[in-house]
């Protein structure tokens, strides 16, 4: 049986590129996204590109606890070992603490932090019992650098970075690997409308390659952090 990768927010950007990379290496995949139409279109593309691989999908808004729990139950219901979990889904709203809209902090924490906490907890017991698996959390350079227009996004990503460190400390003795991925500006939907040349950004495929490379190491080693930036530096 093929190995299985779970990627949240897998229809676009880094999530999509990561699914594509692992599917090309023979993995079956599970993903979720908020837009069911996008999921259906992505599934059709996936099946055409990888006729030998399986894709399972379910609509889920990870900012909603009930959707996260339902997605975790969906994955468990497949009754298949989870080899790789990539907590990728989340979003960015620019702003500053003194002027961002009321509720921005709560929505950012729900999508970028709580979703990772609850989905990981929902899938972790089986990984620990098998003493196998690799968890990648998509943090950000905003997890280690405060940006003046980052506001609650920075707060949520700093917190996710902390969660990842705690998870790594807890799981090392259970042989489950944990990696924090901290990409800089990547050409994804989050940057749509920005008047900058594409070559100023990283490619989603480069981040996906770095995730694959970390996973492909022997189980004697773990890449604890992947910090990757555009060649010309942060935006």
- Whose CA is closest to 108, among 93, 86, 120, 87? 93
**CA gyration radius, the chain:** 17
**47, part of any domain:** yes
Q: Assess whether pLDDT exceeds 70 at residue 189.
A: no
**21, part of any domain:** yes
More confident residue, 235 or 29: 29
**174, part of any domain:** yes
Structural domain boundaries, residue 18: 4-228
CA-to-CA dists, residue 187 to 196, 203, 205, angstroms? 10, 6, 10
* Amino acid 17: pLDDT: 97
Q: Assess whether pLDDT exceeds 80 at residue 187.
A: no
Gap between the Cα atoms of 210 and 215, Å rounded: 9
94 φ, ψ (degrees, to nearest 5): -70, 155
**206, part of any domain:** yes
* Amino acid 185: pLDDT: 80
**What CATH number corresponds to the domain at position 174?**
3.40.50.720
Answer whether 0.85 is exceeded by the pTM: yes
**52, part of any domain:** yes
Gap between the Cα atoms of 164 and 171, Å rounded: 10
**110, part of any domain:** yes
**235, part of any domain:** no
Q: Assess whether pLDDT exceeds 70 at residue 128.
A: yes
| Cβ neighbours for 66, distance < 8 A, ≥ 6 positions apart | none
Q: What is the DSSP string of 85-122?
A: EEE---------TTTSPTTHHHHHHIIIIIHHHHHHHH
How many domains are contained in the chain? Answer: 1
* Amino acid 175: pLDDT: 98
Helix, strand and coil content of the chain, in percent to the nearest 5, comes to 45, 15, 35
Gap between the Cα atoms of 76 and 74, Å rounded: 6
Mean pLDDT of 202-224: 96
Q: Assess whether pLDDT exceeds 90 at residue 126.
A: yes
Q: What are the tens digits of pLDDT across the range 10-29? A: 999 999 999 999 999 999 99
**233, part of any domain:** no
Give the HSE-up count for residue 52: Cα atoms under 13 Å, Cβ half-sphere.
9
- Per-residue pLDDT band at 193 (split at 50, 70, 90): low
Residue 4 near residue 123 (C-beta atoms within 8 A)? no
Q: What are the tens digits of pLDDT across the range 59-97? A: 999 999 999 999 999 999 999 999 999 999 999 988 999
Percentage of the chain modeled with pLDDT above 90: 85
| Three-state SS at 141 | helix
25: its two tokens: 């290496």
Mean pLDDT of 148-152: 92
- Per-residue pLDDT band at 202 (split at 50, 70, 90): confident
């Amino acid at each position: 049986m093929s190995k299985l990768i779970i990627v949240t927010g897998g229809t676009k950007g880094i999530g999509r590129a990561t699914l594509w990379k692992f599917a090309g290496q023979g993995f079956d995949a599970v993903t979720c996204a908020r837009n069911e139409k996008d999921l259906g279109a992505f599934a059709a593309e996936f099946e055409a590109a990888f006729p030998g691989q399986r894709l399972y999908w379910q609509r889920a808004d990870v900012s909603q606890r009930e959707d996260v729990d339902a997605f975790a139950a969906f994955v468990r219901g497949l009754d298949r070992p989870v080899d790789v979990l990539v907590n990728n889904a989340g979003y960015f709203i620019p702003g500053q603490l003194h002027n961002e809209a009321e509720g921005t902090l709560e929505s950012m924490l729900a999508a970028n932090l709580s979703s990772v906490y609850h989905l990981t907890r929902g899938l972790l017991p089986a990984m620990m019992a098998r003493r196998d698996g690799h968890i990648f959390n998509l943090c950000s350079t905003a997890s280690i650098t405060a940006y003046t227009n980052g506001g609650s996004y920075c707060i949520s990503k700093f917190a996710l970075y902390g969660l990842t460190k705690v998870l790594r400390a807890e799981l090392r003795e259970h042989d489950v690997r944990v990696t924090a991925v901290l990409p800089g500006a990547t050409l994804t939907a989050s940057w749509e409308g920005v008047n900058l040349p594409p070559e100023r950004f990283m490619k989603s495929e480069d981040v996906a390659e770095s995730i694959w490379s970390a996973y492909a190491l022997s189980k004697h080693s773990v890449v604890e952090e992947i910090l990757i930036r555009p060649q010309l530096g942060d935006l």
